[in-house]
Amino acid sequence: MRNKPINFRGVPIVILFMMIGFFSFAQERLIRGKILDTEGNPLEGVSIKLKDIAGAGTLSAKDGTFQLQLSAAAKTLLISNVGYNAKQVHIGPSDNNISIRLESNTQDFEEVVVVGYGAMKKRDLTGAVASVNAKDLNTIPAGNPLEALQGKIAGVDIGAVTSPGSAPRIRIRGNRSLNASNEPLYVVDGIPRNSIDDIPVNDIESMEVLKDAASTAIYGSRGANGVVLVSTRRAKANTPTSVSYNTYVGMNKARFPKMMTGDEYVQFRRDVFRASHNNGWASGEPRNEDVFAAKELAIVNSGQFVDWQDLMYRKQSMNQEHNISIAHGSEKTQMVIFAGYRDEEGYYKTNDFKRYNLSVNLDHRISDALKIGLSSRLSNSDRNLFWAPDVNMLYMNPTATPYDEQGNMIWNPSVQQTAAWNILANYQEPYINNDNWVKSFNVLYAEYSFFDGFKLRSNFGLDLAQQKRREYYGSMTTLRYGRPDYARKAEEARTGILWDNILSYDKKFNKHSVNGTFVVSYQQQKTNGFFASGEGFPGEELEDWNLNSATQNLLMGSDYEKWTLGSLLGRFQYGYDSKYLLNFSFRADGSSVLADGNKWGYFPAVSAAWVIDQEEFFESKTINALKLRASYGVVGNSAIAPYSTLANTMQATYNFGEKTYFGYKLGGLVNKQLGWEYSGTYNFGLDFGLLSNRISGTFEFYKTATTDLLMKRSLPDFSGSESPGSNGIGSSPASVFQNIGSTSNTGFEAMITSNNIVSDKFSWSTTFNFYTNKEKIVSLLTDEDMVGNKWFIGQPIGVYYDYDKLGIWQTEEKDAAAGFQRKPGDPKLRDVNADGIIDADHDRVVLGQTSPKFGGFIRNSFGYKGFNLAIALEGKFGHMVESSMLGGNIFYDGTRWAPQALAGNYWTPDNPDGEYPYLNRAVEQRANLFGIRKGGYINVQEISLGYAIQEKLGPFKTLNIYARARNPFYLYKQDKDLDPQSPNFDYSAYRVFVLGLNINL
């Protein structure tokens, strides 16, 4: 066999691949190491990753050792572990076996939080301060910062948002005052404001809530009901330019109560007829021809019932928000520019809300000693309001037809309620109810450092707001029902200024630390406005643009008010060896709204803390942080309208013969002794960290006593005075403010954070809080209750006071019912004083309170690689709510539509277990009692699923895609027939579903 020549053509390729593999292997190496704490103890489960190299990483073993294969591109190790400061370690060519020590970060306790006129580490706090950062605020799609805060801080009760652009009610540790405001003070970037509705949640860096008097006393009279501090985003020094875009688009779905279906309403009407005609219930089922009018009968026979809720409300409404920010920080200058847009539809077809935001935060260091800055915010919000149908919805039953055969609106569609106007009229006729706000909020500061540890800072705030109201209701709308059309314009301008001059000293001497703050503050607010209205215009196309053409009831009015507040305050903080902390503050406020001789109030506070974990005797492998706190402080409240302590006059009209003359008369009596309302609070706290702060938290116990309550008392007619009506038009019964009575609030709070599982790929953390609050009136004008105001000594400020409904009188109780002039099927009320008579003076009792006795929040968040999932629950218990839809607005004669809760649920001889009374009984049915119900609930506040790409992807530094649901459903309700957060059908705590995207460039 002849030998073939060897073919060498493939050899160079084989050799090339062998060389590539050889050099690749030669460029990789194995590095070994050990992770220790500062005491030299090995740390298990520490994450070791390679910077800028995806997927490369490991965890340290039980003895702290690790090994990792490195490529030539590996330059830096990223070391991280829960409870320790993350660390970057540079790897040199000869670093094959390394030892790395991690410092404990005491996590939550080293967090810097904003306090009044400054900031400090949480470890150094001596008062009750809670903080929520930007990440936690942005877990739900919220149009209002308070909405984003709901449930996340123990002791802070925040209600539901029930329409676009509206703000929820907030109470910090309960209600204190009877007539004065119970709203907290809002402070944005160091400057007090009336509200924070115009600030997008995405533009907030953190929110702090000051809860005890030792923390709020620094704000004196403004901090009586707690303080909410808002810090907006600012750039950091020496950071490259970054661009962030955050957006979400989704829909809102209202949660309205279920109404009777057409068939249920038909049976309801038949039962009403049966109960009230012939021989009553014994006469048997009636014929439809006897029950319904001819117009209704055709609908009943055809089964083509009308769903008025479906016609009135949007099935779902759209909402969207877009925010973009640009940040840059050089060594001397840092700046953030933010722009935002929000668009949200309401569940009423005339209801929507739009908001535009633009802001700039600028900080510049002129020299080592001098720093200046500016925060400027501009917002424009436009809100189209709605007419809530209230009881008019019930006039529209399933047999009432909204349109005729030609599609024309039937103005009085109900046969049973012939005077009831078609509730859809506003969707067809000219209807304008618009509220526009333009706000400009500006803060300018200069800070000068001099000597050693001294700083002088001057803050000047200018807060401008202008509101424009437009109203126009055509003659055939629900607000005019055939009367002449109506138009109204109103404008209000508000100017607020504040000037703070803050001298501070901060110094450490060996084991001693001293901080002192002295502030001189001046604040002023002016408000002026006017309105004009009229009826009967030449044409509806004019709307509200030519009020002078009104032919009837042309009215106009104007108003003006001004108040000032001058303040002096000092605060001294001392710490020894980071173990013993003392804080003392004193503030004096002078308010123009109070009477001469009582304008100045004085508010001291003292607090102390013992950091036990810093003691030499304290040794624990489980507890790594432990601090006890105690405080007492006094704050004041002067939140009443300006001029409440000044006598005034009001215009009076006199007729002499055929002529009319105008004069003036006494417009109200004054109290020259009116002074401050004072609240003193004791607070005891415990801060702790367990297992290297894997678990950390805070416990608080407090007791607040409020005295000299500001209360508005009505005066008898023989006082010879009246109070001017709104805008000076008309009058109302005379009244006067007095300092009367006292209240108390006692409670417990717990906030716990736990990092349950932390590994290289999977994480699970839990945030939990719980609070209780016992609120009661301690004293009033005399030792007797004020029944007319529903104020009772020993009871909370807000209560339901009425008859106690025991159920329904049954057939076998006929004789007992007759003793109360009642029959089987009537409501059975408790005879409190057992005198055989049910009367208002002796048999009404406190049924329950309006504010929750306790509440809680829990959020679990999970992470797996780039995926993240979060579920949050929020609940409140111990209170009651009132639903007129389930109570006072139910008519048992069949002339109105009714909720599904009534269908088949009324007493009859055949249905003795019915919850509601017998139909069409000609006695007082106490219908409102059936609407007072337990309001406890557990709500699924958030479900969120997202995917984050943390490594650079093209131009994107990070990219996060998510889907979120807010308030998707209730896990538990004490009363199945209502929405406890919005128990009536006019307003809804709606569900929100969105898809969102966060991009950082």
C-beta separation of 422 from 410 below 8 A: yes
Q: Does pLDDT of 312 surpass 60?
A: yes
Q: List the structure tokens of 212.
A: 């005890």
**Tokens 């062998």 found at:** 18
- Indicate the DSSP class of residue 235: P
- The dihedral sign for the CA sequence 779, 784, 786, 787: positive
The whole-number average pLDDT for the span 342-362 is 94
The whole-number average pLDDT for the span 231-245 is 91
C-beta separation of 862 from 854 below 8 A: no
The whole-number average pLDDT for the span 51-57 is 66
**Full-model pTM:** 0.85
Mean per-residue pLDDT of the chain: 87
Choice between 95 and 485, residue whose per-residue pLDDT is larger? 485
DSSP 250-298: EEEE--PPPBPPHHHHHHHHHHHHHHHSTTGGGG-PPPHHHHS-HHHHH
Label residue 923 by pLDDT band (50, 70, 90): low
Check residue 43 and give its pLDDT. Answer: 84
Check residue 95 and give its pLDDT. Answer: 81
The domain 29-101 is classified under which CATH number: 3.30.450.20, 1.10.3720.10, 2.60.40.1120, 1.10.340.30?
2.60.40.1120
Query: Closest Cα partner for 212 from 572, 518, 635, 574?
Result: 635
The whole-number average pLDDT for the span 677-688 is 94
The most confident of the ranges 183-187, 257-261, 607-611, 724-728 is 607-611
The whole-number average pLDDT for the span 939-948 is 94
User: Which positions ≥6 away from 132 have C-beta within 8 Å?
Assistant: 149, 152, 153, 206, 207, 208
Q: Which of 91-100, 583-592, 837-846 has the lowest mean pLDDT?
A: 91-100
Burial class (CB in 10 A: 0-12, 13-18, 19+), 597: exposed
Check residue 5 and give its pLDDT. Answer: 46
Q: How many CA atoms lie within 13 A of 143 on its CB side?
A: 30
Label residue 808 by pLDDT band (50, 70, 90): very high
Q: Does pLDDT of 93 surpass 60?
A: yes
Report residue 678 CA to chain centroid gap. Answer: 26
Kindly state the helix (H) or strand (E) to which residue 666 belongs, with its residue range. Answer: strand 659-666
User: Which positions ≥6 away from 2 have C-beta within 8 Å?
Assistant: none
Check residue 951 and give its pLDDT. Answer: 72
C-beta separation of 248 from 994 below 8 A: yes
Query: Closest Cα partner for 806 from 926, 910, 973?
Result: 926
Q: Does pLDDT of 649 surpass 80?
A: no
Q: Cβ–Cβ contacts within 10 Å for residue 93, how many?
A: 7
**97-102/29-37 β-pairing:** parallel
Check residue 724 and give its pLDDT. Answer: 58
Check residue 89 and give its pLDDT. Answer: 85
The whole-number average pLDDT for the span 108-133 is 78
Label residue 391 by pLDDT band (50, 70, 90): confident
Q: Which of 637-641, 849-853, 980-984 has the lowest mean pLDDT?
A: 637-641
The whole-number average pLDDT for the span 536-542 is 91
The whole-number average pLDDT for the span 245-262 is 92
Check residue 219 and give its pLDDT. Answer: 87
d(CA 529, CA 761): 60
User: Which positions ≥6 away from 474 have C-beta within 8 Å?
Assistant: 429, 430, 431, 480, 485, 540
Rounded (10°) CA dihedral 493, 543, 341, 441 = 0
Label residue 595 by pLDDT band (50, 70, 90): confident
User: Which positions ≥6 away from 520 have C-beta within 8 Å?
Assistant: 500, 501, 567, 568
d(CA 112, CA 120): 5
CA distances from 982 to 799, 902, 943 (A): 18, 19, 21
Q: Which residues are 374's β-sheet partners?
A: 362, 444
Q: Does pLDDT of 955 surpass 90?
A: no
* Phi-psi category of residue 481: left, alpha or beta, with phi > 0 → left and psi -120 to 50 → alpha: left
Query: Closest Cα partner for 919 from 269, 429, 457?
Result: 269
Query: Closest Cα partner for 233 from 244, 218, 219?
Result: 244
d(CA 502, CA 773): 36
Tell me the CATH architecture of domain 112-245.
Beta Complex (2.170)
The whole-number average pLDDT for the span 861-875 is 93
Q: For the chain, what percent of residues have pLDDT higher than 70?
A: 92
The whole-number average pLDDT for the span 883-901 is 86
Query: Closest Cα partner for 521 from 585, 605, 587?
Result: 587
C-beta separation of 737 from 781 below 8 A: no
Choice between 654 and 844, residue whose per-residue pLDDT is larger? 844
- Mapped onto helix, strand or coil, the DSSP state of residue 565 is strand
Q: Does pLDDT of 107 surpass 60?
A: no
Kindly state the helix (H) or strand (E) to which residue 232 belongs, with its residue range. Answer: strand 227-232
- Mapped onto helix, strand or coil, the DSSP state of residue 489 is strand
Q: For the chain, what percent of residues have pLDDT higher than 90?
A: 59
- Mapped onto helix, strand or coil, the DSSP state of residue 147 is helix
Report residue 66 CA to chain centroid gap. Answer: 48
- Indicate the DSSP class of residue 615: S
Choice between 338 and 645, residue whose per-residue pLDDT is larger? 338
SS3 readout for 845-885:
EEEEECCCCEEEEEEEEEEECCEEEEEEEEEEECCEEECCC
Q: Does pLDDT of 72 surpass 60?
A: yes
Residue-level length of the chain: 1001
What are the residue ranges spanned by the domains of the chain?
Answer: 29-101, 112-245
Q: What is the pLDDT of residues 3-35, one digit of tens each?
A: 444 444 444 444 344 443 433 334 567 888 899
Choice between 562 and 24, residue whose per-residue pLDDT is larger? 562
C-beta separation of 825 from 921 below 8 A: yes
Check residue 905 and give its pLDDT. Answer: 94
The most confident of the ranges 138-147, 769-778, 820-829 is 769-778
d(CA 516, CA 573): 6
Label residue 47 by pLDDT band (50, 70, 90): confident
C-beta separation of 939 from 990 below 8 A: no
Check residue 59 and give its pLDDT. Answer: 83
Q: Does pLDDT of 91 surpass 60?
A: yes
The whole-number average pLDDT for the span 394-398 is 90
C-beta separation of 154 from 753 below 8 A: no
Q: Does pLDDT of 586 surpass 80?
A: yes
Q: Which of 92-106, 356-370, 487-501 has the lowest mean pLDDT?
A: 92-106
Check residue 110 and give its pLDDT. Answer: 61
- Residue 50 phi/psi, 5° resolution? -95, 130
C-beta separation of 124 from 107 below 8 A: no
Q: Does pLDDT of 780 surpass 70?
A: yes
Check residue 8 and give its pLDDT. Answer: 42
Rounded (10°) CA dihedral 21, 26, 27, 33 = 130
Q: What is the pLDDT of residues 178-226, one digit of tens each?
A: 877 888 999 999 889 888 999 999 999 999 999 998 888 888 877 888 9
- Mapped onto helix, strand or coil, the DSSP state of residue 192 is strand
Check residue 715 and give its pLDDT. Answer: 66
- Indicate the DSSP class of residue 661: E
Q: Does pLDDT of 462 surpass 70?
A: yes
C-beta separation of 546 from 528 below 8 A: no
